[in-house]
Amino acid sequence: MNQFPEQVARDLIDKLMTASEWVVHVKKVFKLTAAVGVAIYFSLADK
């Protein structure tokens, strides 16, 4: 699958955060109490 370098990096970061037991959410739908560590994905391109 061809992806822009930014998306490749984002996928790797999400994978590493999930492996560290963080929960990764998108900006529009998230639950701050989902886990001890919660990351909210935000991108200006997702407006």
Looking up tokens 């970061």, which residue turns up?
Answer: 13
pLDDT of residue 43: 60
pLDDT category of residue 47 using cuts at 50, 70 and 90: very low
Q: How many helices and strands, by DSSP H and E, does the chain display? A: 1, 2
User: CB of 42 within 8 A of CB of 27?
Assistant: yes
pLDDT, tens digit, 9 for 90 and up, residues 13-45: 888 988 888 877 766 666 767 776 777 676 655
pLDDT of residue 21: 80
User: Of 24 and 4, which is predicted with more confidence?
Assistant: 4
Query: Could you tell me the pTM of the whole model?
Result: 0.57
> For the chain, what are the domain ranges?
5-46
**The two three-digit tokens of residue 22, written as one number:** 């963080």
